[in-house]
Amino acid sequence: MESKKIELAGFLALFIGLLVLTFLVFKPFILIIVLAAVLSVLFQPLYKMFVRFFYGNKSFAASIMVIIALIFLILPIIFLGLQISGQAQNLFSFMKIDQGQYILDIQQHINIFVQHFVPSFNFSISDYIDKILVFISDNFGGLLSQTTYIFFQTFLMLLALFLFLRDGDKMLDKFISFSPFKNEQNKEIVGSVDRTIISVIRGTLFVGLIRFVLITVAFYFLGIQDLVLWGSVGGIIGAVPGLGTPFVIIPAFIYFLLNGHILSAVYVMLFGALLLFFVDDLLSAYFFGKGLEVPSLFILFSILGGIMYFGPLGFIFGPIILSLFVSVVDMYKILVLKKSIQ
């Protein structure tokens, strides 16, 4: 008995030591691996269609999916990141040199109004904008100075995506073989993770992309500068229904109002109302309601916290972590409460 305890203690020490070392080895690539795994889940229906089309040739179908991901997802994101970085730096320079007179006008009106009730109140919009622009510039600006590193990461991510698509079923079966749970429970857990990830990622990416395009086009016709930057802000924060649209539309409305462009201000508010109804209410409810029952407030914090911790990719990783947490709660329902997941 004593020898078995010694053997078990030795095994646990060896296992924990190797686990720590393995984590340290994979740590620089964890974000790449997670992103590739999530993309493989997202592209799984299209990948299976290609497998059937190419008579079961998984390698060729996975290669086609990697090319599609590179052309229609990775390259546009890199290009968009460069545009956002440039416009953020231009706006930052404008704020530093000209101090943005219209921003100061807004700030003065807010201070005068609030100081009637709280005399000691002093609000500085420029300070907050400076912090936001510095954050954007620091994160997206790395794309300009780390081209080789970005290329290397992109290559590894696409390679991982290829392997996850081609061998994903084998990897999942191998992982499930170590599970102490029953086969039915494993299927329910995997199905819950799959549904929540697809729901969050599709809702976050698709709704954000639609909002970004609409805001950018609308601001282009209204003659607003740095439209890609503001469209991106609306698209990212707007992943939470009802929040992103006012965050961008209201400052634009105030800007036109203070500069005497009443008609443009009316157009902005009408556009914002339509955007709130069609995108925030209808599309967001459709995507997020198909697999993730989480209050919008938690989705907001997952996005903002993800961006603060992981940088630009936190826009995706934050909701993924939230979705995995929801899946763990579903596991609790299955294993402890003995309830099935619908």
- C-alpha closest to that of 299 among 226, 243, 229: 243
HSE-CB at 9 with a 13 A cutoff on CA atoms is 6
Asked if residue 57 has pLDDT above 70, the reply is yes
Higher per-residue confidence, 167 vs 219: 167
Contacts of 203 (CB under 8 A, 6+ apart): 239, 284, 287, 288, 292, 319
Higher pLDDT, 133 or 231: 231
pLDDT above 90 covers what percent of the chain?
A: 11
In this structure, are residues 35 and 315 in contact, taking their beta carbons and an 8 Å threshold?
Answer: no
**How far is residue 308's CA from residue 340's CA, in Å, rounded to a whole number?**
36
DSSP alpha helices (H): ranges in the chain?
2-26, 30-42, 44-53, 58-69, 75-97, 101-115, 125-140, 142-145, 147-177, 183-222, 227-237, 244-258, 262-275, 284-288, 296-310, 314-335
Check residue 144 and give its pLDDT: 47
Mean pLDDT of the chain: 75
Max mean pLDDT among 50-59, 74-83, 226-235, 316-325 falls in 50-59
SS (H, E, C) 97-142: HCCCHHHHHHHHHHHHHHHCCCCCCCCCHHHHHHHHHHHHHHHHCH
CA distance linking residue 169 with residue 174, whole number of Å = 9
Percent of the chain residues topping a pLDDT of 70: 65
* Interval 114-143: pLDDT, tens: 666 667 666 666 666 666 656 655 655 554
Q: What pLDDT, in 10s, does the model give residues 316-335?
A: 777 777 777 877 777 777 66
Average pLDDT value for residue range 10-15: 86
Q: Rounded distance, CA 28 to CA 31, Å?
A: 8
What is the C-alpha separation between 265 and 272, in angstroms, rounded? 11
Name the pTM for this structure. Answer: 0.71
